[in-house]
């Protein structure tokens, strides 16, 4: 009788080297395994939720690949991309530029697990994870390469991480920390559980549903195919969490709370604007907040509770940020649009505003009034007032603008001095993260620090753009050329008598 995988799995997963020439601590240094303080025996309880054999793996991945390729070839040939809404395609530019190289960083992280993880069971899964992330990188590169002839912005799939574009630096800062510099146990908490089991669902499943509705079958299909790998290899975090809950629950809670806040802030930047502003309003499945409640609160936090973890201490602040943070990031990125490599949609036409009001009852008071100012300036032809002259002050932890975590009513400064240097934070939570391990973050200089330090020349916005690698053919501008503001023009004229008769921008 033929053996099934379950017949031999438990034997094969424990196949391991016996070390003769070096001792264990040399072969598996604690600063790479992250297993300090955890007895070696503890790892015998490490039970992978998702069993994988190499034979199955190759067969499945081959099938996934041919599926994605078939869809993509058919769609590229039929010219689907040219028919997509220009507001929506910005979401795919943003994705490829900020995510492709994170997939590549994840190859390194998985390779570290496959070499240094504290149990052979986990090391075997690291091999599959490494191959998964190689696939994701190559999928993104192939997708971008196919579409490069339509838009030079797809070049940023490869280029972005070699530039100093500020948003890319913020992404890189986080993943340098939790993928490239983290030991295996910490990477399992921060990357496998928080990012891969939690937040990537927002981009790769929820936004994929929006993309499908917007007719972008090629991209949507690529995203959800990638997430089928993520859903599997993210699972290695759970048995690791189980071991940690036995031996060092405090460490698990802290690592997860830190990664949760940093992920929330990052996805407010990457996914929030794409869902609530770039996706055409009649094609939006749900709001960013609703998707976050579905995937992060209902889906991700519930399973952490099952392992005995508490919600992060800052839960109330997270919920406040959930209402506001991505609106702040959207207003900020739109205003600083020359510093982007994609074309943002303002997304505040009357119909879009009605949708925003319905989804976020506080939106008008927190954000609408600021957009009214922008609209008045656009309609009065004062375009200079809608564009930046300086750089925004940035958080020394998240690298995102100060004032972008909550609403305009919550702008209290969060600052501390460490070794004689002043550090500023976008929130009390980011400050808390810094204070847990100041040495880890203190040496990093934000874009503004580098500007003040004279590294960016000439010291002007133009110098900054040059330093960020933003060339004219990719530089961001309003994707609809401000057409959405015109429906407010009459309003401006009647409400503000002195502005009566001002030309509408673009005419």
Partner 1 sequence: MPIVELDTDQALDTDLVGPVIRSGELAEAVIDAVAEDNPDAEVVVVDRDDYVRVHTRKECRLTLTSLVKHLGRPYQLSLLEIDMPSFKGRLRTRVDEYVWFYDR
Q: Which residues bind partner 1 (CB under 8 A)?
A: 4-6, 49-52, 56, 60, 63-64, 67, 201, 204-205, 208-209, 212-213, 220, 224-225, 227-228, 230-232, 235, 238, 285, 290, 293-294, 298-299, 302-303, 305-306, 308
Q: How far is CA 334 from CA 153, 182, 376, 478, in A?
A: 17, 33, 16, 7
Neighbours of 365 (CB within 10 A): 11
Piece of 38-46, 125-133, 215-223, 270-278 that binds Fe ion (CB under 5 A) = 125-133
- Helices marked H in 382-446: 428-436, 438-442
Give min distance, CB of 62 to Fe ion, in A: 18
Give min distance, CB of 413 to partner 1, in A: 36
Q: Is 230 in the site for Fe ion (CB under 5 A)?
A: yes
414 contact, one of Fe ion, partner 1, none, CB 5-8 Å limit per kind: none
Binding mask 177-196 for Fe ion (x = CB under 5 A): -------------------x
Rg value, the chain, Cα: 24
Give the separation between CA 323 and CA 22, rounded to whole angstroms: 54
Q: Is 136 in the site for Fe ion (CB under 5 A)?
A: yes
Residue that is written with structure tokens 């993943």 in the block: 175
196 contact, one of Fe ion, partner 1, none, CB 5-8 Å limit per kind: Fe ion
Give min distance, CB of 425 to partner 1, in A: 32
- The answer to whether the Cα torsion of 407, 338, 160, 227 is positive or negative is positive
Give min distance, CB of 220 to Fe ion, in A: 16
103 contact, one of Fe ion, partner 1, none, CB 5-8 Å limit per kind: Fe ion
Nearest residue (CB) to Fe ion, 228 versus 242: 228
Give min distance, CB of 106 to Fe ion, in A: 5
136 contact, one of partner 1, Fe ion, none, CB 5-8 Å limit per kind: Fe ion
Give the separation between CA 99 and CA 104, rounded to whole angstroms: 9
Q: How many CA atoms lie within 13 A of 405 on its CB side?
A: 29
Here the tokens at position 427 are 């929130």
Under DSSP, is residue 501 helix (H, G, I), strand (E, B) or coil? coil
Here the tokens at position 423 are 């550090």
Nearest residue (CB) to Fe ion, 106 versus 448: 106
What DSSP element (H or E) covers 356? helix 350-359
4 contact, one of partner 1, Fe ion, none, CB 5-8 Å limit per kind: partner 1
Here the tokens at position 2 are 């033929």
**207: closest CA among 83, 306, 294, 82?**
294
Piece of 127-135, 261-269, 313-321, 390-398 that binds Fe ion (CB under 5 A) = 127-135
Nearest residue (CB) to partner 1, 141 versus 236: 236
Give the separation between CA 218 and CA 209, rounded to whole angstroms: 12
Give min distance, CB of 195 to Fe ion, in A: 8
Under DSSP, is residue 382 helix (H, G, I), strand (E, B) or coil? coil
290 contact, one of partner 1, Fe ion, none, CB 5-8 Å limit per kind: partner 1
Neighbours of 144 (CB within 10 A): 23
Binding mask 91-110 for Fe ion (x = CB under 5 A): ------------x--x----
Give min distance, CB of 252 to partner 1, in A: 16
Give the separation between CA 470 and CA 268, rounded to whole angstroms: 23
Give min distance, CB of 185 to Fe ion, in A: 17
Q: Is 426 in the site for Fe ion (CB under 5 A)?
A: no
Q: How many CA atoms lie within 13 A of 345 on its CB side?
A: 25
Piece of 171-179, 227-235, 321-329, 378-386 that binds Fe ion (CB under 5 A) = 227-235
Q: Does the bond joining 458 to the residue before it have cis omega, within 30 degrees of 0?
A: yes
Give min distance, CB of 201 to partner 1, in A: 5
Give the separation between CA 444 and CA 21, rounded to whole angstroms: 39
Contact positions toward Fe ion, by CB under 5 A?
A: 103, 106, 133, 136, 196, 230
């Amino acid at each position: 009788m033929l053996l099934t995988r379950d017949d031999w799995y438990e034997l094969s997963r424990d196949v391991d080297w016996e070390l003769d020439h070096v001792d264990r601590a040399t072969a598996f240094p604690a600063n790479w395994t992250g297993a300090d303080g955890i007895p070696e025996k503890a790892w015998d309880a490490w039970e992978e939720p998702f069993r994988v054999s190499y034979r199955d793996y190759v067969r499945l991945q081959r099938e996934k690949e041919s599926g994605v390729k078939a869809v993509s070839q058919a769609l590229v040939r039929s010219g689907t991309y040219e028919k997509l809404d220009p507001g929506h395609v910005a979401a795919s530019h943003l994705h490829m530029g900020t995510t492709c190289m994170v997939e590549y960083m994840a190859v390194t992280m998985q390779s570290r697990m496959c070499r240094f993880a504290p149990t052979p069971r986990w090391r075997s899964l690291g091999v599959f994870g490494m191959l998964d992330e190689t696939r994701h990188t190559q999928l993104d590169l192939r997708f971008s390469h196919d579409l490069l002839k339509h838009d030079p912005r797809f070049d940023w799939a490869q280029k972005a991480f070699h530039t100093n574009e500020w948003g890319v630096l913020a992404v890189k800062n986080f993943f340098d920390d939790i993928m490239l510099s983290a030991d295996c146990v910490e990477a399992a908490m921060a990357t496998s559980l928080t990012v891969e089991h939690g937040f990537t669902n927002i981009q790769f499943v929820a936004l994929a549903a929006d993309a499908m509705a917007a007719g972008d079958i090629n991209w949507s299909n690529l995203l959800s195919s990638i997430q089928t790998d993520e859903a599997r290899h993210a699972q290695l975090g759970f048995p690791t969490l189980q071991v940690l809950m036995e031996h060092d629950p405090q460490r698990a809670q802290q690592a997860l709370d830190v990664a949760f806040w940093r992920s929330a802030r990052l996805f407010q930047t990457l996914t929030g604007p794409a869902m609530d502003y770039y996706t055409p309003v009649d094609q939006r499945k749900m709001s960013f907040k609703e998707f976050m409640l579905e995937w992060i609160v209902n889906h991700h936090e519930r399973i952490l509770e099952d392992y005995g973890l508490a919600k992060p201490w800052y839960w109330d602040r997270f919920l406040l940020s959930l209402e506001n943070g991505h609106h702040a990031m959207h207003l900020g990125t739109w205003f600083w649009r020359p510093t982007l490599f994609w074309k943002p949609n303002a997304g505040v036409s009357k119909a879009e505003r009605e949708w925003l009001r319905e989804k976020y009852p506080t939106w008008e008071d927190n954000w609408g009034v600021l957009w009214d100012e922008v609209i008045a300036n656009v309609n009065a032809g004062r375009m200079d007032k809608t564009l930046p002259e300086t750089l925004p002050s940035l958080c020394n932890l998240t690298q995102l603008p100060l004032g972008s975590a909550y609403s305009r009513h919550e702008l209290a400064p969060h600052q501390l001095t460490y070794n004689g240097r002043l550090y500023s934070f976008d929130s009390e939570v980011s400050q808390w993260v810094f204070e847990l391990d100041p040495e880890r973050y203190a040496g990093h200089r934000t874009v503004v620090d580098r500007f003040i330090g004279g590294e960016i020349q000439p010291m002007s916005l133009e110098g900054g753009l040059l330093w960020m690698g933003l060339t004219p053919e990719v530089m961001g501008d309003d994707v609809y050329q401000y057409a959405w503001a015109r429906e407010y023009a009459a309003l401006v004229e009647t409400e503000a008598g002195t502005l009566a008769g001002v030309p509408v921008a673009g005419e």
